[in-house]
Amino acid sequence: MAEKRKVTRKKIKATDVMKQFMADYYYELDHAAKTGEKKVAWCSSVGPAEILRAMDFLIYFPETHSAMLGATRMAMEFIPHANALGYTPEICSYLTADIGAFTRGVTPLSRAYEGIESVPKPDVLVFNTNQCRDIQDWFSWYSREFEAPIVGIHTHRGVMDVTESHISSIAKQMEDIIEPLEEISGVRFDLNELKRVVALSRECSDLWKKVLDTAAAIPSPLTFFDGTILMGPAVVGRGTQRAVDFYKVLLSELEDRIENGIGAVEDERFRIYWEGMPIWGRLRAHSELFTELKACVLASTYCNSWIFSAFDAEDPFGSMAKAYTELFIVRSDEAKEKYITKMIDFFKVDGVIFHDARTCPNNSNCRYGMPQRLSADTGVPGLIINGDLNDLRCLSDEQTNTNIEAFIEQLEEQKISANEYTEKTTLEE
């Protein structure tokens, strides 16, 4: 059995800067919704946020809100209320938790930020089906509830190579939503402003990538569990100078750690890649479990999903269409396997955890033999854990912990055998 003792991962100081960022973000939205001084747009997390920002909307992201419901474990109380409305327990538990909480007049924002009583009322809802169809159903429910207009981008799915025809069809849809948004916002679309915002989004994305790439260092200065929190500004603040400034501060702290050989996990022995959604209600427990096992979960498909390297201010519509279609979730299994293989190599990964999230088949890539194929191709073992992003009824803690401990033990045995082999061959030489 691999050694296990009580330790916690090292705190990243920039987290406090991020907390202030998120507080200011939600208070600004709340003020706008209460006073009507600015229009509020709801947007899916990998939706065309740049267009909305360029048209002076404040942007609210329901997925981030629902992740808060999950992380605070409030989701469990509210999912049944959405089930009662006909949204079954089998569909996205972001959707069910969020709609359920709304019907009960509850939001975790009230607990986190004094004075905020509800989510900000939308003037428009804008979705992109690049992630899934659930997002459209989710936003449509709120559109009916608030009697607010809804517009959307309908994206291709299962894409192997992103081609010109994919890009031009999505870019055209993005251009088509400008006119209705002008009517709602009362702001005339300005191409130069969009270029400015896209340039800032690109800068934010590049910095976020650099932050995540620091995990390639040995020991890694960063864990996936830090990433799920620190990604906040990349999701809700991309396109702003403030998000760019935050990631400069964070990057500098992580580079300092690398220079001084400081790992996020003390005595890092195993390097793990996390494939799939986080289990929001178990972030702390999982972080502690892996840390105790000297295993650093250091990289993930999930956190990488807010890297948009295609953004180009000189071609805002074409590059946004490309960036939002190149996403991992949009791609074919073959393209996904190539991507994960690259990540295993880049981050020098010993093992991969595949989270089979019950209510999100879109982010569960272990149902059609991918872990087995990847393991055969790379020689890196994988472990599937059953769970969910928000619905903790889909998770057995005991079984998950036992499986993770056994997996780390397997990695330990592999390391011992590999070392013995190296020693033997060195002696023979």
Residues that bind ligand SF4 (CB under 6 A): 92, 94, 131-132, 134-135, 360, 362-363, 389
Closest separation in Å from C-beta 76 to ligand SF4: 16
Shortest approach of ligand SF4 to residue 129 CB, angstroms? 9
- Compute the 3-state secondary structure of the chain and give helix, strand, coil in percent, each to the nearest 5: 55, 10, 35
Q: Considering beta carbons, is residue 94 or 270 the nearer one to ligand SF4? A: 94
What is the rounded CA–CA span in Å between residue 98 and residue 81? 10
CB of 389 to ligand SF4, least distance (A): 6
Q: Which is nearer to ligand SF4, 115 or 158 (CB)?
A: 158
Comparing CB distances to ligand SF4, the nearer of 134 and 203 is: 134
What is d(CA 180, CA 187) in angstroms, rounded to the nearest whole number? 11
Q: Which is nearer to ligand SF4, 136 or 240 (CB)?
A: 136
**Looking at this protein, which amino acid is placed at residue 92?**
C
Q: Please, what is the minimum distance in Å from the beta carbon of residue 359 to ligand SF4?
A: 7
Q: Give the list of residues 6+ apart from residue 111 with CB closer than 8 angstroms, or none.
A: 72
Return the DSSP state at 195.
H
CB atoms within 10 A of CB 244: 22
> Which C-beta is closer to ligand SF4: that of 33 or that of 132?
132
Q: Identify which of residues 185 and 301 has a Cβ nearer to ligand SF4 in the complex.
A: 301
Nearest residue (CB) to ligand SF4, 277 versus 408: 277
Chain centre to alpha carbon of residue 326: 15
Q: How far is the CB of 141 from ligand SF4 (least distance, A)?
A: 13
How buried is residue 347: exposed, middle or buried, by Cβ count under 10 Å (0-12/13-18/19+)? buried
Q: Do residues 265 and 288 touch, judged by C-beta distance below 8 A?
A: no
Of 239, 228, 364, 416, nearest in space to 311 by CA: 239
Q: CA 305 to CA 327: how far, in whole Å? A: 7
Residue 245 CB, nearest approach to ligand SF4 (Å): 28
Distance CA 211, CA 414 (A): 30
- Contact yes or no for 263/296 (Cβ under 8 A): yes
Token readout for 246 is 């935050």
Distance of closest approach, residue 135 Cβ to ligand SF4, in angstroms = 5
